Amino acid sequence: MAEPTVLSYDTHPGRTLTAALFKDVKNTKDLRLLLAEGSLPEFAYINARVVLDPFVLQLAGHRALAAEGSTRMATKNIHTELVYGVSATKHVAESLKRFGISDDTTAVLVARFDCKPEELEAVSKRIEGQQVALSELGGLVDLELIDKYFKVSKQELQSRGRLDAVTFRVGAKDCL
Amino acid sequence: MAGTVEAQGGDTSGAGGAKAANEEPQRITFLGRPALVVTLGTGGGAGAGARSHKRPRHDEAGDEGAQGGIRQVARSMLRAHKLGVLVPLVYHTDVESGRATVEDVAGRPLQALLDDMVAEAEAGSSSGKAAADLDAAAAALGRALALLHDGGQVHGGLGGGSVLLREGDGAVVLTDFRRSFNSIVALDKATDLAGLEAALLAAAKAKAGAQQQQQQQGEQVGEQLQEAAASAPGAAASAEGGGGSGAAAAPAAAATSKPAEIASAFFEKLLNSYRPSSRMWSAVHNKLAEVRARGTSQGGQGASAGAASAGTGSNKKAKTAAAKS
């Protein structure tokens, strides 16, 4: 059974972001319904196929921490803010739809700030899929979809590569 | 450069109104990467009070912050990046405080390479490493600017300090987008180029002046101390271009000093690379002649006055761009 990854932030000492990756998830439809009802524990539930790299998650996490509690939050809690943060656009509803889980999602990335082990346990139990190490994210990602959502240009791919292109957009999101 | 390094995100002390953008960037490590925290202003500029409903006067807010604030800078950088021009990555922006955390690109400023070239030239070699690097940099910068301009973006603050040569491959990275705005107008692009030339020549002139001073001081010291034999050759060797003592004073002050020669040669090579890479060359070329003529008659001030008047023409664009943000 793979271990979750715990990320920390120099800029926000003491805060952590715990992330776990699940592939071949069979019950995303149910999960989505439960999430809509509010019966799932508060986590960020992200479509893993459109997160290019753990760095992107960490970067979005930083943004969420910086925005927490202020008027700059675009969504209602820090975890939905994280889902918003990894997205390509400023459009909140679209971001949550495309980057959150939908009925045809097969790989799910869950993340929670300052997470306790039992909280992650509770979520892992609800997900019918195989937990793998976060480092396997690269193998699950849909590059075409990323290029489409993030509108990555050919010149960008050539000059700096996809990760930099996505990083830029995620980092500068509030100004775009 | 940076005093104490504070690794705070920068969302405290967001005092309302204009934020001075002249603070030195802090060097930090951001999520394991070297980064800089820069303060760019919130976009209200100095006119956040009585003139907040009007465009700021163009002689105000000189070098501080961007007219459109952090949004304008971040957007300009992203536009440049999308066009294939290398810029520092933006990791985080804090709109309220006008601060941004950007990639700290490892490399040296163009000015350092130009200085190396001057040193090399004085040492007598004209085809050393600095010369080769400088040629490559001119070609790369010409291409990058052509890409930028063809894509409808103007940097607005080109100079020996805002062009970095990346460590390792020497690739050209543009930084300091505080005065960048989008424009398809040939005059703006020409002004961008002329501004670069003026900045390089101004730096060359300053260097020539400083070296001349050094040289004169060196001569005085050499006369006073009995080590004239040792220090005079030393002073002569470090004297720029001009060579001997008094004779050096006059040419050094003139535009034919070594640093100025090198700066001019660099700029010409840059244009040679810009020309074939740009789709808009003929329009820019015409305007460039105009702007340069206007510029050289008044030295450095002319260039910035030219930039200001060109700026007012394009201020509308900058204003609309800022208004949209």
Question: Would you call B28 and A10 a contact, using CB atoms and an 8 Å cutoff?
Answer: yes
Q: Does B104 touch chain A (CB under 8 A)?
A: no
Does residue A140 lie in a domain region?
A: yes
Residue B106 has pLDDT above 90, yes or no: yes
Q: What is the ipTM of this complex?
A: 0.92
Question: Would you call B82 and A10 a contact, using CB atoms and an 8 Å cutoff?
Answer: no
DSSP string, B73-109: HHHHHHHHHHTT-B-PPEEEEETTTTEEEEE---EEE
**Token pair 């820069």 in the structure block, residue:** B38
Counted domains in chain A:
1
Counted domains in chain B:
1
Query: What residues in B contact A70, CB-CB < 8 Å?
Result: 11, 96
CA distance B73 to B54: 20
Does residue A176 lie in a domain region?
A: no
Does residue A28 lie in a domain region?
A: yes
B-proximal residues of A, 6-45, CB under 8 Å: 9-12
Does residue B58 lie in a domain region?
A: yes
CA dihedral (B125, B144, B146, B295) in degrees, to 10, reads -60
| Domain ranges, residue B42 | 7-106
Residue A10 has its nearest CB partner, among B29, B74, B325, at B29
| Among B218, B241, B196, B204, CA closest to B115 | B204
Residue B91 has its nearest CB partner, among A165, A171, A176, at A171
Does residue B308 lie in a domain region?
A: no
CA distance B117 to B112: 9
- Shortest distance, CA B251 to any CA of chain A (angstroms): 43
Does residue B119 lie in a domain region?
A: no
Query: What residues in B contact A171, CB-CB < 8 Å?
Result: 89-93, 101
Does residue A69 lie in a domain region?
A: yes
| Domain ranges, residue A131 | 6-170
- Shortest distance, CA A67 to any CA of chain B (angstroms): 9
In this prediction, residue B48 has a pLDDT band, given cuts at 50, 70 and 90, of very low
The pTM of this model reads 0.78
Mean pLDDT of B112-135: 86
Report residue A161 as tokens.
């590569």
Phi, psi for A48 (deg, rounded to 5): -65, -25
CA dihedral (A113, A138, A45, B102) in degrees, to 10, reads 50
User: Going residue by residue through chain A (176 aa), what tens digit of pLDDT does each one get?
Assistant: 588 999 999 889 999 999 999 999 999 999 999 999 999 999 999 999 999 999 999 999 999 999 997 778 999 999 999 999 999 999 999 999 999 999 999 999 999 999 999 999 999 999 999 999 999 999 999 999 999 999 998 889 998 999 999 999 999 999 98
**CATH, residue B29:** 3.30.200.20
